[in-house]
Structure 1
Amino acid sequence: MTNWLITGVSSGFGLELARAALARGDTVVGTVRQAAQADRFEQLAPGRAHALLLDVTRIDQVEPAVQKALKLARTIDVLVNNAGYGLFGAIEEVSDAEGRQVMDTNLFGPLAVVRALLPHLRERRAGHIFNVASVAGVIGFPACGLYAASKFALEGATEALATELAPFDIRVTIVEPGGFRTQFAGGSQRQAALRIEAYAGTPAHKARDHIAHYHGHEPGDPAKAAAAIIRVLEAPQPPLRLVLGADAVGMLRGAYESRVKQLAEWESVSVATAIDAGQ
């Protein structure tokens, strides 16, 4: 039996992954932000589904929540940092407060949970950490600049974390979903309060308007994403990055090919910056 700690289990990926883990007979400690959500979650599997109230942006709450999770489950084998949200608006439209909030939720919150749990995982020399990023953690889409910044940063930190934790036999995987039928484009998404009309008709506002109509039309099935994550958990050599969705595969392949092509085109300029021989 595997013991999980999953942040953000009230809906979407977190809820589907918790259901899949519980169906395997596992124990899941899941974080929610409202008491009513806690009751509903624990009803999924009384005695094996444990809910914790936690706002990951309240760093002072993270350590006590992780310690409570350890008391409930006695040990944690898998951490899934899933809690997060999308913020939409051109860079010029997003305020400092809006930007900091999305960074606190999508970057600093997950890192705080990791830090709080790591002493336990290092002592056991075992465990698997999944940090849920996004295809926007690799590609900076218009109107997603600050959201992308939070996910780019999470990817960079997680890649470093994977190397740091390898000596302790702790596995680390970055999850990069494309579009899935969760609440990401629905109730969970936030729009920048400011809307600058100069951007009307530009990619930034087209993207802002598109997201409102995208909800319910995403190609990905969250339950199948949960199954994919469990398959990685069970793999003898899990990948550092798990891309989810054909749309994500296509976008990321195009982005990587474009970067390699541009690297080759400008390679002569890049390597001509060395100090001349003899200097």
Structure 2
Amino acid sequence: MNADRARRWFITGISTGFGRELARAVVQAGDTVLGTVRNPAQVAELAAERIAAIVMDVNDEAAVAAGVAAMNERFGGVDVVVNNAGFGMNGTIEALSLDELRAVMETNFFGAVRVSKAFIPALRAGGGTIVMISSMAGHIGFGGMGAYCASKFALEGVSDALAQELAPFGIDVLIVEPGSFRTDFSGRSMKGAKRALDAYAGTQAGEVRARLAAYHGNEPGDPVKAAHAIVQVVRSGKPPRRLALGADAVAGILKKLDSVKQDIEAWRAVSVDTVLDETGA
């Protein structure tokens, strides 16, 4: 897509945080946007900033279909779809209930897939970009954050496959991997397991909830700068597959990749020695 062309954006979850700042950055860049919120009172509030919004739940298939219709009605189509809606969940795997795990996956993973699938037919007609807001936790598993990490690992996997499937149609898939930014993620958007197990008291995983609460409001990343970075990359016309945001994300992801490479190299002989013998015996 031409880098200078005005784009029509659909962004889920623009009430606060990354979504809100991204919607603002889109408008400042001269593009148009339709975002989703859960609170009807925010529609008028956002309109005052020239940001169009509708009430939509990414877990409601009928509501998502209505979102596609609203985008077509207001802007005549879509160029960029951003899957931003989601929430954090802390708690050890042993303590989390399966219902709590499913709830995180339903919004962070299935919600993003649901929205993407709904818009793909329109994007196939004219090309465009799907942006998945993942996390450095889509590469790195953090003790006490397993449910959230699982949802982002899954999102990255489906995004890689989707990028291959949609490339022939001129559709890019950009996976954004933020580190720690000063948003509501560690506050309002963070949920915790209903129970905590005494066995994990004093361990890193067991103390995650308290550490997140103390860290809230002290994160190093600026969400305004992150939003403008996303707009810049999308509007470049040649977005990468992945965009890490924040020095912590860059360092953490590279460290994880180095660790994976070291493990593979250290056990290469054992790994490759599993081929069938020529005789097949």
TM range (shorter): over 0.9
User: For residue 49 of structure 2, what is the amino acid of its counterpart?
Assistant: L
In the TM superposition, what is the alpha-carbon distance from 1:57 to its structure 2 partner?
Answer: 1.5
The secondary structure found in structure 2 opposite 1:203 is: coil
Structure 2: gaps of 5 or more residues: 1-5
- Secondary structure of the 1:21 match is helix
Aligned to 1:271: 272
CA distance in 2, matches of 1:116, 1:154: 16
Cα offset for 1:85? 0.6
Q: Which residue identity does 2:142 align to in structure 1?
A: F
Cα offset for 1:246? 0.1
Hey, what's the Cα distance between the residues in 2 that align with 1:242 and 1:277?
44
Shift of 1:205: 1.2
Displacement of 1:60 in angstroms is 2.9
1:215-243 deviation per Cα after TM superposition (whole angstroms, max 9, x unaligned):
10111000110111112112242110000
Matched, 1:86 2:91: no
Match 1:95 to one of 94, 97, 107: 97
Q: Find the partner of 1:121 among 120, 123, 130.
A: 123
Matched, 1:54 2:59: no
Instruction: Write the mapping of 1:82-231 to structure 2, written as runs, cut at 5 A.
Output: 82-124=84-126, 126-231=127-232
Q: TM-score, normalised by structure 1?
A: 0.96
Q: Percent identity?
A: 48
Which stretches of structure 1, 4 residues or more, deviate above 6 A after TM superposition?
Answer: none
Q: Distance in 1 between matches of 2:7 and 2:262?
A: 44
Mark the runs of 5 or more structure 1 residues left unpaired by the alignment: none
Equivalent residues, number: 275
C-alpha distance after superposition, 1:132-178 (max 9, x if no partner)? 00000111100111111100000000011111110000111000000
Q: CA separation in 1, counterparts of 2:238 and 2:79? A: 16
Q: Matches of 2:28 and 2:232 in 1, distance apart?
A: 14
The answer on whether the counterparts of 1:59 and 1:109 sit within 8 Å (CA) in structure 2 is: no
Contact 1:107/1:151 (CA < 8 Å) preserved in 2?
A: yes
- Separation in 2, partners of 1:61, 1:278: 59
Q: Which moved more, 1:234-243 or 1:257-266?
A: 234-243
Q: 1:28 aligns with which of 25, 33, 36?
A: 33
Q: CA RMSD in A?
A: 1.0
Instruction: Kindly indicate whether the alpha-carbon contact (under 8 Å) linking 1:50 and 1:72 is maintained by their aligned counterparts in 2.
Output: no
Tell whether 2:20 aligns with 1:15. yes
**Corresponding residue number in structure 1 for 2:65:** 63
Letter in 1 for 2:23: A
Counterpart residue number, 2:3: none
What amino acid is the match of 1:103? M
- Partner amino acid for 1:241? R
Q: Distance in 2 between matches of 1:172 and 1:26?
A: 19
- AA partner of residue 139 (structure 1): I
Q: Whole-Å Cα distance in 1 between the matches of residues 235 and 30 of structure 2?
A: 15
